[in-house]
Amino acid sequence: MSIAVFASGDGSNFEMLVEKSRRQGWPQSITLLITDRPGARVLERAKRLEVAAVAFRPPDYETKAAYEEAILSVLREHGIQRILLAGYMRIVGPVLLGAYRWRILNIHPSLLPAFQGKDAPEQALDYGVRWTGVTVHWVDEGIDTGPIIDQKPVLVEPGETVESLRRKIQFVEHNLYPAVVRKWLTGEILPPGGSE
């Protein structure tokens, strides 16, 4: 039984999840990284952490379904039971959702349902909210619409910049996401509708 992380960019959440899973001895390990960007920095982190990584190039596939079928066969080869999205910049389609119904989590840098989609910290600053935050939620077919599992607030202070707000949000993410995943693995958090 093992876990895959999907990421498209820097991968700081991926690294924190792997480190905490090892330090805390989680009942399932993170054994695979999937990325849709062959140049993503997260691949360097996976190498350093000795986590197997597979990079896909979506334009190589005729359809989104074909792209996700290719991912699915790699997930099956690796015996993956659960998926964590951590900065994966694509909408999960019916192929993966069907195979992993209520077994995919996402972390989003806002207090959902506010500021869904891309650039949530910028959206929060532009809107002028005093508080934003972080949400961990189940993944469904929408963009950042699945049932919420947990949230933590982040104060937007006077003079806040996008960079400073992003840093504060990431600090909170790095604690909240591993804590939620750990509870999921130990059965403290159950999928919508009850038992697994």
Piece in contact with ligand GRF (CB under 6 A), picked from 9-17, 73-81, 96-104, 152-160: 9-17
Tokens of 107: 């972390």
Nearer to ligand GRF, 69 or 160 (CB): 160
Give me the 75-104 binding string for ligand GRF, x by CB under 6 A, dash otherwise. -----------xx-----------------
Q: How far is the CB of 146 from ligand GRF (least distance, A)?
A: 13
Q: Which of 80, 84, 107, 124 binds ligand GRF (CB under 6 A)?
A: 107
Piece in contact with ligand GRF (CB under 6 A), picked from 95-103, 106-114, 148-156, 178-186: 106-114
103 contacts 191 by C-beta, under 8 angstroms: yes
Q: Which has the closest alpha carbon to 84: 195, 19, 2?
A: 2
6 contacts 104 by C-beta, under 8 angstroms: no
Residue 146 binding ligand GRF, by CB under 6 A: no
Q: How far is the CB of 194 from ligand GRF (least distance, A)?
A: 27
Intra-chain end-to-end CA distance of the chain, in Å: 14
85 contacts 107 by C-beta, under 8 angstroms: yes
Q: What is the largest CA-CA distance in the chain?
A: 50
Question: How, if at all, do strands 29-35 and 52-55 pair?
Answer: parallel
Asked about 137 being catalytic, the answer comes back as no
Adjacency order of strands within the sheet including 80-85: 52-55, 29-35, 2-6, 80-85, 104-108, 131-138, 148-155
Q: Which of 3, 4, 5, 7 binds ligand GRF (CB under 6 A)?
A: 7
Nearer to ligand GRF, 35 or 102 (CB): 35
> Which residues fall in the annotated binding site?
11-13, 64, 89-92, 106
Residues interacting with ligand GRF, by CB under 6 A? 7, 9-14, 86-87, 107-109, 170, 173
